[in-house]
Amino acid sequence: MTMSVDRRGTATWLTIDRPEALNALDGPTKQALVEALREAAEDPDVRAVALTGAGRAFCVGQDLRELEEGYREGRAPDFAAELERHYAPICKLLAGMPKPTVAVVNGVAAGAGVSLALACDLRLASDTARWRLAFSGIALVPDAGSTWHLPRVVGLSRAMEIALLGDWVDADQALRFGLVNRVWPADDFPRQAEAAVAALAAGPTLAFARTKALFRDHLGTDLAGALAGEAEAQVASGQTKDHLEGVTAFLEKRPPTFQGA
């Protein structure tokens, strides 16, 4: 197995498990990721999805060794097919996941590994994690959704810096750039990340799903459209059990217990 799926309470943890190749994405790993993400999306008992890597890396993107034979013969891979078969579905599944997605960035992230982290809602990182877009190192353009996500996450100027200057981004810089949401010391990172994911998995899942969809949809909407979208989503949110529980808990001066329904 090149990827493990681990249920921890109401969260599911997907761990890319090829530490000897720094969790580079070969065909079976990408296929396993597509399937695991589909299952997580459809399973109502899963209320948050964490994506992480085994060993010292998060993920270093496409497995270049898998493509070695063609390159040695002077042929580039069929990029259109590669991207359509796995990277686009993975990116869309992460972005459209009707529950929070968290990249738990335990170490090096490069190439499409950065793209996967960017497609998640939040990025939590160890202070040993470092980031490099890496595509320019092999004369490619950023892919797997990173041309869409990166400027939106860090702004156009920093996206240009990360893509064109190509330097490593360390934990401090990643935090300053807004590339990551939280950084913790490596020894405390597993505990902190697990607690953060568990808190998300205990949240108002349907409201979270609608929040995600509204933010993404409204990136291309004017204010009037956004107000209309919010109203529609709020009507639906108002009819959930979790809304009733949230208000009741407030009135009773106790923390709410959300069921994700």
Tell me the Ramachandran region of residue 9: left when phi exceeds 0, alpha when psi lies from -120 to 50, beta otherwise. Answer: left
When asked if residue 63 is in the footprint of ligand LHQ (CB under 6 A), the reply is yes
Count, residues near ligand LHQ per rule CB under 6 A: 23
| Shortest distance (Å) from residue 57 CB to ligand LHQ | 7
| Shortest distance (Å) from residue 86 CB to ligand LHQ | 9
Angle made by CA atoms 119, 5, 109, in degrees to the nearest 5: 40
When asked if residue 77 is in the footprint of ligand LHQ (CB under 6 A), the reply is yes
Pick between residue 55 and residue 229 the one whose CB is nearest to ligand LHQ: 55
Strand partners, 50: 13, 102
Residues 111-150, one symbol each (x = binds ligand LHQ by CB under 6 A, - = not), give xx---------------------x--xx-x--x-------
Residues 15-34, one symbol each (x = binds ligand LHQ by CB under 6 A, - = not), give ------xx-x----------
Choice from 71, 79, 215, 250 touching ligand LHQ (CB under 6 A): 79
| Shortest distance (Å) from residue 84 CB to ligand LHQ | 10
In Å, how far from its chain's centre is CA 42? 17
- Contact set with ligand LHQ (CB under 6 A): 21-22, 24, 60-65, 77, 79, 82-83, 87, 108, 110-112, 134, 137-138, 140, 143
